[in-house]
């Protein structure tokens, strides 16, 4: 991160034997992210292939275009609306778990949120529960964590990054075992859902035992997709479900945890967010939020956005040039990796003065007006932006508002997070807070 201060908003570095152009400048970010032709992901994404195959995140070319078109409708707001119950019921479990920290010592909020976010994505993606919050020792949960660690390790290890050397490492064996568990579980769930889909008539299948409209998981929607009149192959469905599992829980965990941490540090911001919630839930103090309630949490959204600015969960993402291109009078050669460092872009002083200051007002409608959409990119931008962006924002609002309605968050005065830049941004020294009960 220090490189930006030294070399400016556009600079070249070598990682291993690969040169890369690091982008912390909105104009260059627009050139890359707005492009409809520079879509190929960089080398490091290959470390995800053994788990995710070539799902939406890791695929390229025709397959990516086809899958993106097919999957986009499954993120329609009417479908997202169905997941609000999942966010709410899992947040209720989170509140129960957090109750034991009330008036106790400071504790790290991150592990609690990880398990909650895992439960949410499992239920939304697969329609099943792994019950991580009540059973953090689940094999599936343990192996998701293990795979996330291995992927990051491989990106930075001068030995493990090479395919020929990697099988000699301890992690290779751990990965093989993890993949057995992860693929075994997803394949089992897909098979079970497929059988259910075939055995139930189309009318009963859309309703649960009480006759209420049944919620469909992303998996059900994928099972209903057809290409040229044929259902998607099992392998393709598995890749996408696994991709949602990977992209859809560590990212929101980081987003929620840092936002809660910032709320603890800035009591006046917390007070303002709570007042907004009081006005939204005036007639329904203990009620569950509706889709509209979540949409009305405008100030909370500003808080989340500012938190994502300072600690974007995906701090960097990269593409590789398949052709030589020209940018701003310079030739960028084929094979060059272009990396958007959102962590640095969000600290560009031309766009965000006094960048280290936490100030949600930066995202008020007046202050956001006229800002380039490529200056603030926690969810990336352009054709390969995050497909789960609206799902993530709803989940973050739902979970954070539930915590705020139940607890007051208090700061640990001397603590400053040390951003550890892995695939997902975490804090090396945790995100500790104190909790007291709130009268809402």
Point out which residues bind ligand HEM (CB under 6 A): 41, 56-57, 68, 243-244, 247-248, 251-252, 255, 313-314, 317, 378-380, 384, 386-388, 391-392
Shortest approach of ligand HEM to residue 376 CB, angstroms?
12
Q: Is residue 230 within a helix (H) or strand (E), and if so which, with residue range? A: strand 230-231
> Which tokens hold the place of 118?
């895992």
**CA-CA distance, 83 to 183, in Å (whole number)?**
24
Shortest approach of ligand HEM to residue 68 CB, angstroms?
5
Q: Is 386 flagged in the annotation as binding?
A: yes
Distances (CA, A) of 98 to 104, 109, 113, 403, 404: 11, 9, 10, 9, 12
Pick 242 or 408: Cβ nearer ligand HEM: 242
Q: Are 126 and 189 in contact (CB under 8 A)?
A: yes
| Pure H helices in 8-76 | 26-33, 49-52, 61-71
Shortest approach of ligand HEM to residue 396 CB, angstroms?
6
Distances (CA, A) of 335 to 18, 40, 175, 248: 9, 11, 29, 30
Say how many C-beta atoms besides its own lie within 10 A of residue 395's C-beta.
29
Pick 40 or 153: Cβ nearer ligand HEM: 40
Residue pointed to by tokens 């000699």:
168
**CA-CA distance, 398 to 437, in Å (whole number)?**
19
**CA-CA distance, 100 to 118, in Å (whole number)?**
21
Pick 68 or 438: Cβ nearer ligand HEM: 68
Provide CB contacts within 8 A for 368, sequence distance 6+: 362
Pick 362 or 384: Cβ nearer ligand HEM: 384
- The residue with its CB nearest to ligand HEM is 388
Shortest approach of ligand HEM to residue 342 CB, angstroms?
7
**CA-CA distance, 120 to 131, in Å (whole number)?**
9
Bridging pattern class, strands 337-341 and 18-23: parallel
Pick 143 or 342: Cβ nearer ligand HEM: 342
**CA-CA distance, 406 to 419, in Å (whole number)?**
28
Pick 248 or 430: Cβ nearer ligand HEM: 248
Shortest approach of ligand HEM to residue 403 CB, angstroms?
16
**CA-CA distance, 435 to 423, in Å (whole number)?**
29
**CA-CA distance, 75 to 369, in Å (whole number)?**
27
Pick 62 or 329: Cβ nearer ligand HEM: 62
Shortest approach of ligand HEM to residue 105 CB, angstroms?
29
Shortest approach of ligand HEM to residue 168 CB, angstroms?
28
Pick 251 or 401: Cβ nearer ligand HEM: 251
Shortest approach of ligand HEM to residue 239 CB, angstroms?
10
Shortest approach of ligand HEM to residue 440 CB, angstroms?
26
φ, ψ dihedrals at 293, nearest 5°: -55, -45
Pick 85 or 267: Cβ nearer ligand HEM: 85
| Pure H helices in 41-169 | 49-52, 61-71, 77-81, 84-98, 110-126, 139-156
Binding-site residues for heme? 386
Binding-site residues? 386
């Amino acid at each position: 991160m220090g490189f930006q201060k030294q070399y400016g908003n556009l600079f070249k570095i070598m990682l291993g034997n690969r040169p890369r152009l690091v982008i912390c400048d909105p104009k260059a970010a627009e050139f890359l992210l707005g492009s409809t032709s520079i879509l190929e992901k960089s080398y490091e994404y290959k470390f995800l292939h053994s788990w995710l195959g070539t799902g939406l995140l890791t695929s390229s070319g025709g397959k990516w275009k086809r899958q993106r078109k097919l999957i986009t409708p499954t993120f329609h707001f009417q479908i997202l609306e169905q997941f609000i119950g999942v966010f709410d019921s899992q947040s209720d479990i989170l509140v129960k778990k957090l109750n034991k920290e009330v008036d106790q010592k400071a504790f790290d909020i991150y592990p609690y949120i990880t398990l909650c976010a895992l439960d949410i994505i499992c239920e939304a993606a697969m329609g099943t529960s792994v019950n991580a919050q009540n059973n953090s020792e689940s094999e599936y949960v343990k192996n998701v964590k293990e795979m996330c660690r291995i992927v990051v390790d491989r990106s930075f290890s001068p030995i493990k990054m090479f395919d020929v050397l990697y099988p000699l490492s301890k992690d290779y064996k751990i990965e093989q075992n993890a993949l057995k568990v992860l693929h075994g579980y997803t394949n089992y769930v897909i098979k079970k859902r497929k059988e259910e889909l075939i055995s139930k008539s189309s009318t009963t299948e859309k309703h649960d035992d009480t006759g209420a409209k049944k919620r469909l998981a992303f998996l059900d929607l994928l099972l209903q997709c057809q290409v040229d009149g044929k259902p998607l192959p099992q392998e393709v469905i598995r890749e996408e479900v696994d991709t949602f599992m990977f992209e859809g829980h560590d990212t929101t965990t980081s987003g929620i945890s840092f936002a809660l941490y910032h709320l603890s540090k800035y009591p006046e911001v917390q007070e303002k967010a709570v007042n907004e919630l009081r006005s939204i839930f005036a007639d329904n103090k203990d009620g569950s939020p509706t889709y509209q309630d979540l949409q009305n949490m405008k100030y909370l959204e500003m808080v989340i956005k500012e938190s994502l600015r300072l600690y974007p969960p995906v701090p960097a993402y990269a593409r590789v040039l398949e052709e030589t291109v020209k940018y701003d009078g310079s030739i960028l050669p084929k094979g060059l990796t272009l990396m958007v460092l959102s962590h640095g872009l969000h600290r560009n002083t031309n766009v965000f003065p006094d960048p280290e200051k936490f100030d949600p007002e930066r995202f008020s409608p007046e202050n956001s007006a006229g800002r380039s959409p490529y200056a603030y990119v926690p969810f990336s931008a352009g054709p390969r932006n995050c497909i789960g962006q609206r799902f993530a924002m709803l989940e973050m609002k739902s979970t954070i508002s539930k915590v705020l309605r139940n607890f007051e968050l208090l700061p640990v005065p001397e603590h400053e997070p040390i951003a550890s830049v892995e695939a997902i941004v975490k804090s090396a020294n945790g995100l500790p807070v104190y909790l007291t009960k709130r009268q809402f």
